[in-house]
Every structure is written in structure tokens, then in C-alpha cells.
Amino acid sequence: MREEGALSRRRSRVEIYLHFVWATKYRAETLTPEFERRIHRCIAREVQGMGCSVLAIGGMLDHVHIVVRMAANRMPMELVKQAKGASGKLYNSIRAENSEPFHWQDGYGCFSLWYTQVDKAVAYVHNQKERHCDNNLLEILEQFDEPAPDTKTIHEYIFPDN
């Protein structure tokens, strides 16, 4: 009986949801349909290999969005480093010989989500192309690599009336 109680105390429940965004170097529009699917699959494979769950992945020609449920023993920085490294290496292995080498931008955006916001974040990522066509974007998520336009938090952008 005592053994069972000790075991149950060692288990943890961790729900850390993060929305990551990162861009190609100089915002080069290199994530064409030819490469996009393979790059997204590579990123998802790396993230899952770290024990995290990919809830959504999408983006445009010059950037990637990914919503992740983090593993308790992982840091956001190491997830991004692993995903960028593997996907950049893959891109360079399949690009045309006469094209420029592919690079990701050095930085990234990482935004924490409440569990109640996850569905909205997933929908935002899945509808990236439509949102860009309609110019219906959350500025804080799309221009993360520039100085913040104001002091609003991600929560205020997603739930403006709260």
C-alpha cells in the first residue's frame, strides 16, 4: 500500500501550451509548396521526438507557426533549436544545387497559452493562408521579430473583451 502511494506522488500533470513562430532569414519567401509539407513534417517529427505534442503547424512562404503541448522536461529554446536545425538541414539537402543555402532567422517568438486558448491558437495556425489573404492577422504573432507595436499581451489579442 505504501509503495503505491509513493508512486502516485511522483507523477506529475503538466499542461504547458506554447505558440511558436519563427521566420526564414531576411524573411526570404522560400517555404514554397514544394518544400513546405516536408519542412512541416520534419519539424513535427523533431518536436514529437522530444516528447512534446504538436497540436498545429502551418505558416506562409517566410515563416512557420506551431502550437505545442510541451513535455515537462523540455525548454522552449531547445525545442526551437532542434526543430530549426533539423528542418534547415533537410531543406538544404533537397534544394536545387544552384540555389542559395537556406537559413532560419536567429530569433523566434514564443507565446504561452491558457488551456482555454488552445483551440483558438490551433485555428489561427490552420487558417494562416486565409488570414494572410484577408489581412486578418494578430500583429503580435506576425511581427514578433520587430519591436512590439504596443504593450498588449498575447491574451489581450486573442481575448480582447476579457
pLDDT tens, residue by residue, 31-55:
999 899 999 999 999 999 999 999 9
Query: Using the 8-state DSSP alphabet, how is residue 149 labeled?
Result: S
Model confidence at 103: pLDDT above 60: yes
The arithmetic mean of pLDDT across residues 140-148, rounded, is 50
Coil/strand/helix, residue 119: helix
Top CATH class, 13-158? alpha beta
Extents of the domains making up the chain: 13-158
pLDDT at 149: 46
Q: Which of 114, 103, 108 is closest to 64 using CA atoms? A: 108
Backbone φ and ψ for 70, nearest 5 degrees, come out as -75, 150
Split at pLDDT 50, 70, 90, the class of 152 is low
pLDDT given for residue 148 in this prediction: 45
Q: Which amino acid is at 51?
A: G
